[in-house]
Structure 1
């Protein structure tokens, strides 16, 4: 049994992988460390053969995970790094290590999942948009602040009071709180639409749109195109890497 662990900027997702293991996605807020409730869950597990890790959450949480893994199981985690070409996917970046390992794994999973060009949108603390052709060539991507970061940056830089509100279904709002809430949702959805249309021209046919990340469901209703929600996309990519390496 292996543990597959996806450490994002805010959340840690994990599952067990191996013969006889059920693929169950678990999510915990990490806050730069390993939460006590997660530690309690891991203490009840049989010792894993390997811990395979995707980490964009920083060195503090990586160090905390390493300490926990050594204490519980006498093992050190294997941290994955982006490769220029793997699983049929070829990264557009000249320096692959500068391309987030979570984005790389998401593309590997998306390419295995669909035989057509696809736009992969990961909406978390940051929102990333990556364009992939059917042959596995990555065209590049864009990054924006995520929903909450976009709202916080606006509120911190203005005198607009913090008003909790659900985003409006319409592309405009009639009060300040809903305007801020809806603006963050529709900004991300509008960029997804623009990139989707450009990818359709580049690919010569309609691409697919894959959503992942903690806030993916928040932007989904605002999208103009049909989309597929894959909450464990990064972990699916990790599974591909592990199985191909074996």
Structure 2
């Protein structure tokens, strides 16, 4: 079985439990399931894999949120209770309770914060780090508190003692910052596998 997550920048592929990343669509053998947020790459992918199944058509997900992306849906579907954080170019924070999606927010990711500070002044440069002081005493600490600290505060605001499940490119780093959190690289694929099991029961 092959699972494919077609993102805006990269294509994430899960083959028998192993994950790889590609820039361009490829042809795959066997049963292929996919989700996509990139229509252009999806067209190329479908030409190469005409029998691939788009799971977005079959996913069951309880939410009142309008316009929730299929990648966020699959990540959230993988858990029943807790907070799902996808830490990439943007950071999404979604709250799940008894298999129901209560809502979620979108905020800039760490790299987006770095870019934004750089447009203000060339001296506002920093490398993401774990800050253990409440009162920053240099520019690097101050920028980290204003970016990593802002993301941390928002996650904690919505977690309220719930378990936090983190995925995405900056997920492993953020999991070291957020208490009661777990980094799960394949969160989206776990949601896709759950959807396939539901589909096979029909």
TM norm structure 2: 0.85
- Tell me the distance in 2 between the aligned counterparts of 1:208 and 1:82: 29
**Post-superposition shift, 1:177?**
4.1
**Post-superposition shift, 1:127?**
0.8
Is the alpha carbon distance of 1:62 and 1:180 closer, same or farther for their aligned partners in structure 2, counting shifts above 3 Å? farther
Is the alpha carbon distance of 1:81 and 1:189 closer, same or farther for their aligned partners in structure 2, counting shifts above 3 Å? same
Tell me if the contact between 1:130 and 1:138 (Cα under 8 Å) persists in the aligned partners.
yes
Aligned to 1:63: 43
Question: Is 1:125 aligned to 2:89, yes or no?
Answer: yes
Tell me if the contact between 1:92 and 1:137 (Cα under 8 Å) persists in the aligned partners.
no
**Post-superposition shift, 1:216?**
0.7
**Post-superposition shift, 1:102?**
0.9
Aligned to 1:167: 129
- Tell me the distance in 1 between the aligned counterparts of 2:186 and 2:39: 23
Tell me if the contact between 2:131 and 2:144 (Cα under 8 Å) persists in the aligned partners.
no
**Post-superposition shift, 1:173?**
4.1
Question: Is 1:3 aligned to 2:10, yes or no?
Answer: no
1:174-201 CA distance string (max 9 Å, x none) = 443453345321111111101012xxxx
Question: Is 1:78 aligned to 2:59, yes or no?
Answer: no
- Tell me the distance in 1 between the aligned counterparts of 2:151 and 2:7: 19
Aligned to 1:52: 33
- Tell me the distance in 1 between the aligned counterparts of 2:148 and 2:45: 33
Q: Give ranges in structure 1 of 5+ residues lacking alignment.
A: 17-21, 112-116, 198-205
1:20-59 equivalence runs, <5 A = 22-28=16-22, 30=23, 33-34=24-25, 39=26, 47-49=29-31, 51-56=32-37, 58-59=38-39
Is the alpha carbon distance of 1:161 and 1:140 closer, same or farther for their aligned partners in structure 2, counting shifts above 3 Å? same
SS class of match (1:99): coil
1:1-246 equivalence runs, <5 A = 2-16=1-15, 22-28=16-22, 30=23, 33-34=24-25, 39=26, 47-49=29-31, 51-56=32-37, 58-67=38-47, 69-70=48-49, 75-81=50-56, 86=60, 89-93=61-65, 95=66, 98-111=67-80, 117-134=81-98, 136-156=99-119, 158-161=120-123, 163-171=125-133, 173-197=136-160, 206-223=161-178, 225-246=179-200
1:75-131 CA distance string (max 9 Å, x none) = 353333277x72xx41122x4xx11101111121112xxxxx311111111111111
Tell me if the contact between 1:14 and 1:25 (Cα under 8 Å) persists in the aligned partners.
yes
Tell me if the contact between 2:35 and 2:71 (Cα under 8 Å) persists in the aligned partners.
yes
SS class of match (2:76): helix
TM norm structure 1: 0.71
